Structure 1
Amino acid sequence: MRTCRFVLPLSALLLPLTAAAADVASPPPVFTLGTIDVHAERGTSPAVAERSLDAERIQQLDRNTVGDAVSVLPGVSLARNSRNEDMVYLRGFDARQVPVFLDGIPLYVPYDGYVDFGRFTTFDLAEIQVASGGASLLYGPNILGGAINLISRRPERPLEGDMRLGIADGGERKAAFNLGGRRGDWYFQLGASILKADEFPLPDGFVDYKRVPTDTGKNRRNASRDDRRLSLKLGYTPREGDEYAIGYARQDGEKDNPVYTGTARSGIRYWRWPWWDKDSLYFIGNTRLGEHTTLRTRAYRDTYGNGLDAYTDGTYQVAIDNSSFPSIYDDSTVGGSVTLATTALPRQELQFAIHYKQDQHSERNPHSPSKDFRDVTTSVAIEDRIALTDTSHLRVGIGHDRRDAKRVYFWPTGSTDATNAVLEYVQQLAPDQQWYASAAQRTRFPTIKDRYSARMGAALPNPDLKAEHALHFEVGVRGRWWEGGQLQAALFQSRIDDLIQNAVVASRECGGSTCNQAQNIGKARHQGVELGLRQRLGDDWDLQTSYTWLRRTNLEDRSVALLDSPRQRLFLAVGWQLLPQLKLQATLEAEQGRKVSYADAARPVRDLPGYGSAGFKASWSPHEAWDFDLGVRNIGDKWYELADGYPMPGRTWFANANWRF
């Protein structure tokens, strides 16, 4: 276990803030350079049909991680797998197919394309934007099912920020601090946070079904976490339309993996991650080239490393030492993009983008050779937003991506390419009402793991895997349709071809028997309905709700289920301003129809029962700069799971203190 950590310099930072506390800042402004569409106005862009969640709402709902935060939005659901990772699904597309970005910089892990959304905290964010299948081509390659963009803060006052502290059952504690300021043409932003927990409460009625139970008390064993994050940004605005910023974000993570507790007799493992670390250094610049043209540049370097230790049993005393464990990953990415945007043509907003991304993966183990891989991905795209009338426009775009395997352990190198396109029509019915229809062709290149992993001897690599393809159709409405209300509604369908799925093959490399191999053999259809509503009810009540109905069909083999996303999901939050200083909030999350894998050859899929989990929070504000929260999650102490044999936390009490200046 490592002891090297960065320390929050709170005493040094708090001294100049006393005088500023009375001048309370508004919700943190968004770092506009971190958005993707150069010409689009924040929050009103019809081009990308983005769902967004700002920092104020994230804090109000007490969502500490990105996974928990985005799960309140229409079309989004959360899964927690056997590796104790939070996985986000958008309309049934997983995290490999819906990559995550920080200020437009890709964050996904080069080896397998995943990120653990439970490792990314929300304390230093200004906004989270979620775009679905019609997302802008300007994001770059691999946006098969959409994109998630985490947008940082950009200060507007000479000095502003916030501080929060919190505790919860299971030894959970958090501390976060943000400080920003602007002086003339320069600004800075600093954020630091800690989110830790020792365990979490087990729900009422829970039973550990293993032959040798380990979770027999009130709390979940081997469920600790320790996530620490530091973010810095320095910006310069020499003239109107020009802005340049250097950003850095580092997170040090450490987590345990709770043991499987279900009824299957296989799949039990005792794992711990002594480190899960990531850092990103990036530059973003926006340069005005005359009256009608701007140039946006991005350059970045991102590194990621983790270690995985395995043990023989639940005592965690004897470590497994073989050709698989301990396992050490060391990944890095360098890349950049250039986007040229112009309004020189009448009634058009034209944008042209070029992307370059180099991914490297190194896999080490004391008892086996080091395995090194390197991929280079390039992309070009052009999008044009054409004003057909004063109240309607058409967005049309086309792009081409290419991936070259430059270095591969043992297997031959190769390349593949793919073409993407998008077409969207938007009709403005009123200044704040519109309907839209879109069609898009999107692709995703297989990851290094997809192509070359032997799955600990259980699979045969396939270096010739091609890109997955999806054809998206969507029609919807969004805007303010009545007093105090905002509504968005969408009907969507996606047809996925060349989906990467496992096939059983016989080969000499399988040891004279059969084994699995990833192949482009899958066909699937995702279709559904999304509804989202924000409503003010008088002066004292507010309501937020989102509902998703999703049907996923395996067109290649309808008897094989598509897993890990629910058929129906509902989120509801109701707030009541009981007194000027006291606000109450009740939440409900409910879902039905989730299928998950089950470690039994006779029954490989399990239908999880539906559930509903309610929460409650009281917020007291004795001063406009201060808030104190007391609340409870999962009031009913409901036993529910998002993966077979991995219970979610039971009733959990929490308390927070928040200060804004």
Structure 2
Amino acid sequence: MTRPARPHGAASLPWLAAALAAIPAAAAGQESAESEESDWPTITVTAPATETRALPPQVRIPVDLIVDRQPRSAADVLRGIAGVTVRTNSRGETIARIRGAQDRQTQVFLDGAPLAVPWDGRIDLGLLPAGLLGGVRVVKGAAPIEYGANAVAGVVDFQTRGVSQGDFAHLETGSLGSGSASLVLTERIGAAEAVFAAGGITRDAEPLAGPLPFGQAPGEEGRTNTDLDAGSLFAALGTTTGDLTLRASLLHIAAERGIAPESDRPPEEGPRYWRYPDIALTQATVNAALGLGPDSEIRLVGWRQWFGQRIEQYRSIAYDALRGSQEDEDDTLGGRLTLTHPAGPLALRWAASAQSSTHEQVDTDFPPGVPGERLRFRQNLYSIGVEADATLAPGARLTLGTAYDRAETPLTGNKPPQEAFSDWAGSAALALDIGEDAALTVSGGRRTRFPTARELFGAALGRFALNPDLAPERAWFADAELRWERPGLTVMVNPFLIRFEDTLAQRVLADGRRQRFNLAGATNGGVDALLSYDLAGTLRFELSATALRARADAGTDGGSAPFRRLPQRPSFETLAAIDWNVRHRFDLRAELRAVGSAIDLDAEGEVVDLPAAAELALRATVPLARVGGNRLFLTMAVDNLSDAQIVPQAGLPLPGRLWRVGLRFD
């Protein structure tokens, strides 16, 4: 079986042309909705702020800022947020990590429903088109109880576009056959509100930034085996009747992509020669909110997710001889119920959630190519808790919470039964208005993440040796966020401390396989900071930064790390931007992203250094015409202008220079 050749841009032309043709249609049917309000955010925001509620540190990204940065995918939206690291792992998935925690400790939600596939605890953010998003919230620290079990380090909460945000269309093409397109149509039909969206992302290969010692086929212009084709469809219908608000939505993503082989190891040291010829995710979500009185409300979110993928493992970088394949099918059903009501001077919020996910897997070795046994795994998650909000004095709010979480694995395939896990969670947040323009929030808590079924039972086509003694991860948090806001100026400083117990790490065994194990302990400490300052009426300076120190405990027992510094945790990350926006004429944006040094493991489990680096990106938007209440824009972008080689993980450098040009209707 061979990897099909792709002429630059050939695969993207049909759907890019279709999207371009749809832009005039969207414009013709657009009715300005700038003054209209949508009721949907009251039911799709998972943990809404209230006058009496104190919340942990969080960053909100409104839709206009999302559009301004010209992202292609949901992963691009998160780049440059203080405390958030976005990287592509060795499976080719683009994931988010908060404050140096493991990526599975960061939970991802879409319209209030978990988006990650429970078997693995991850979702590839590079497959979700950015045009679908109407806003993003990143919660750091002890997340509110509505998010349920496993939200250890924080939460990424995506919201889809609503009717109040109007229609949107974007089409772009770029170097190495890259392209993306998004189309969002919104309409009010009597008492109902409807949204339809379609999107796609494509590339023939990622650009190279400098030579690679291994893992690169000779004569290829782009990075070997990094092609991607992803398409999505989304539809939502909502209505409000009296005190009842309802919304139902359906998302479907289909994709195929390659995975870059590790470039730091020769063939005899076992780099991955993998491809995903088939990825499909479908998620149905139902949101409901019912007002029970002036200060009482009940909210319900239900979700059903179907996921399937096929992984193909090859014997060499030629991708012409199969070594093995794995076919996965996942079926997940879950729901969350939240009740808010007054109780004397307090506002109480009760939350309960349950989720059951079944994973079926078939492995096939080549030769002989005979499918193996179909294995079935199941994991059930439960969470129940309560939070109390109190106003201590004018400008002083206190929120206290506690919860009980539980995980069960009633089906374990051909592996021994696994005992159930359970633990408690707690949190506290105190918010103080310390001046007309300043606020201080002090928060902390305790959270638990249970191992996923893949961590307990998955061998990843022979890459991992199982560890039947894996235990849940636990984390203690402490945060202090100081925020000062004046017209044209925002300053935020947020020192934090995270104490991990039994956090999962990896070690390399004598036979070359990797094995997960529980570290005895680790501590992450640092500072998140944000500055936004209007230098002039049309010129704004933005700076977001994180300094991080992540260290495992010293010791000599079986839970000790072979080295103190935790891998793949840069010492700092910063994004500085200058935005020059002359209304109705142009918007120019320059971004400088710098990443500090880090370490990682090589194929033999030895420490390798990952050097500090920096990259420059440019953005430009020029209005072309006004169509009804919206405008048509020309967009231009260059990513990694300096063609810098940045290596967030050993053998897996980030893409080099990429140019893009397109049209946007917004």
Match of residue 470, structure 1, among 460, 472, 475: 475
Tell me, yes or no, if structure 1 residue 565 matches structure 2 residue 579: no
SS in 2 for 1:220: coil
In 2 relative to 1, CA 414–558 (structure 1 residues): closer, same or farther, beyond 3 Å? Answer: closer
Matched ranges for 1:79-478 at <5 A? 79-156=87-164, 160-203=166-209, 206-210=210-214, 213-239=216-242, 241-263=243-265, 266-320=269-323, 325-342=324-341, 344-366=342-364, 367-410=371-414, 411-430=416-435, 432-454=437-459, 456-457=461-462, 460-478=465-483
Cα 1:542–1:347 shift into 2, 3 Å: farther
Cα distance in 2, alignment partners of residues 448 and 517 from structure 1: 15
Residues 633 and 187 from structure 1, CA distance in 2 versus in 1: closer, same or farther, beyond 3 angstroms? same
Match of 2:63 among 55, 65, 68: 55
SS in 2 for 1:123: helix
Match of 2:663 among 654, 657, 660: 657
- Count of residue pairs the alignment pairs up: 637
Partner in structure 2 of residue 69 of structure 1: 77
Amino acid at match of 1:540: T
Distance, in Å, in 2 between the alignment partners of 1:623 and 1:14 is 13
Residues 458 and 17 of structure 1: CA distance in aligned 2, closer, same or farther (over 3 Å): closer
The answer to whether the 8 A contact 2:508-2:604 is kept is no
TM-score by length of 1: 0.90
For residues 12 and 68 of structure 1, the distance between their equivalents in structure 2, rounded to whole angstroms, comes to 26
Supply the AA of the counterpart residue of 2:230.
Answer: D
TM-score, normalised relative to structure 2: 0.89
Q: 1:264-314: CA deviations, max 9, x gaps?
A: 552323211001211100111000112321110111101111111122223
Deviation (angstroms), 1:562: 1.2
In structure 2, the CA distance between the partners of 1:14 and 1:82, relative to structure 1 (3 Å rule), is closer
Identify the residue that residue 574 of structure 1 maps to in structure 2.
578
Deviates further, 248-257 or 455-464 = 455-464
Amino acid across the alignment from 1:354: A
1:343-391 CA-to-partner distances (Å, cap 9, x unmatched) read: x334432100110100111111244212111111111010111100111
For residues 514 and 19 of structure 1, the distance between their equivalents in structure 2, rounded to whole angstroms, comes to: 60
Residue 374 of structure 2: SS of its match in structure 1?
strand
Q: Provide, for residues 138-176 of structure 1, a one-character-per-residue CA deviation record: whole Å limited to 9, x for no partner.
A: 11100111111111122138xx30111101111111111
CA drift at 1:194: 0.9
Is structure 2 residue 501 aligned with structure 1 residue 497?
Answer: yes
Q: Which residue of 2 aligns with 1:644?
A: 650
Q: Matched residues in 1 for 2:475 and 2:125: separation?
A: 24
Q: Amino acid of the residue matched to residue 155 of structure 2?
A: A
Separation in 1, partners of 2:292, 2:36? 32
Whether contact under 8 Å (2:143, 2:152) holds in the other structure is: no
Compute the displacement of 1:236 (Å): 1.0
Are the structure 2 counterparts of residues 215 and 612 from structure 1 closer, same or farther at C-alpha, using a change threshold of 3 Å? farther
SS in 2 for 1:587: strand
Shift of 1:22: 7.6
Identical-pair percentage? 23
Structure 2 regions of 5+ residues with no counterpart?
5-10, 365-370, 554-559
Kept in 2, the 8 Å contact 1:554–1:561? The answer is yes
Q: Distance in 2 between matches of 1:28 and 1:313?
A: 56
Distance in 1 (alpha carbons) for counterparts of 2:401 and 2:476: 14
Equivalent AA in structure 1 for residue 543 of structure 2: T
Tell me the CA shift for residue 636 of structure 1. 1.2
Aligned to 1:527: 525
Aligned amino acid, residue 287 of structure 1: L
Change (3 A) 1:458 1:180: closer
Offset of residue 487 of structure 1: 1.7
Corresponding residue for 1:546? 544
How many Å apart are 1:404 and its aligned residue?
1.4
In structure 1, what is the Cα distance between the partners aligned to 2:106 and 2:450? Answer: 12
- Give 3-state SS (helix, strand or coil) of 1:522's partner: coil
Deviation at 1:38, TM superposition (A): 4.4
1:582-615 deviation digits (Å, cap 9, x = unpaired): 22111111111222221135xx221111111001
Q: Structure 1 residues 216, 594: closer, same or farther in 2, change over 3 A?
A: farther
CA contact 2:617–2:638 (8 Å) conserved in 1: yes
* Residues 1:31 and 2:4 are matched in the alignment: no
Deviations 1:170-213 (A, max 9, x none): 1111111001122342101111101111113222xx22323x85
CA spacing shift, 1:455–1:223, aligned 2, 3 Å:
closer
Measured on the aligned residues, the alpha-carbon RMSD in Å equals 2.8
8 Å CA contact 1:50, 1:129 repeated in 2: yes
